[in-house]
Amino acid sequence: MSNQTNSFPSPLTDEIVKNIDKLNLPVIKKHHVRLLAHCLEIFKEIAKDGKSSFVEDKLLKKWCEKQSKKFNDNNFNQLFYEQMYAAAKKLNSFSQSIKKSFKELELEDLITLVEQNWEN
């Protein structure tokens, strides 16, 4: 979803969202691409100052803790972290399989991942 339609800002531009919406994919796969694209942009932001080719676990935990405070729900943080970590693991494994850094992944790569039902 774009920044204009959410109460929480999205790292995805309107152009990316429109490009995903135009894909010749079932709705559920488009949604999967949007989720992965959203997560990927977050991981790139988290890892932008790091030297690692993958978002570090401690940085991801810290980011999730910060975000979960907005919801005032103690149980949310752990679940949120587990889901974000699963996405990070999937994107990292996929990027390694296509010989790219996760920071180099692009929308086309995410489409390929979803179309192939790729599992790590």
| Arithmetic mean of pLDDT over the chain | 83
pLDDT value of position 35: 92
Q: Which range of residues forms the domain containing residue 91?
A: 14-115
Are 23 and 31 within 8 A, CB to CB?
A: no
Residue 1 falls inside a structural domain: no
Asked if residue 34 belongs to a domain, the reply is: yes
Spatial distance between the Cα atoms of 94 and 86, rounded to a whole number of angstroms: 12
pLDDT at 32 over 50: yes
pLDDT of 3 above 50: no
Q: Looking at the domain assignment, is residue 9 inside a domain?
A: no
Q: Are 54 and 40 in contact (CB under 8 A)?
A: no
Q: Of the segments 5-9, 54-58, 110-114, which one has the largest average pLDDT value?
A: 110-114
In a domain, 48, yes or no: yes
pLDDT at 103 over 80: yes
Tell me if 5 is assigned to some domain: no
- Say if residue 41 is exposed, middle or buried (CB neighbours under 10 Å; 0-12, 13-18, 19+): middle
pLDDT in tens, 83-96: 999 999 999 999 99
Domain count, the chain: 1
Alpha carbon distances (Å) from 11 to 2, 74, 99: 8, 25, 25
pTM of the model: 0.79
Give me the percent of the chain exceeding a pLDDT of 70: 87
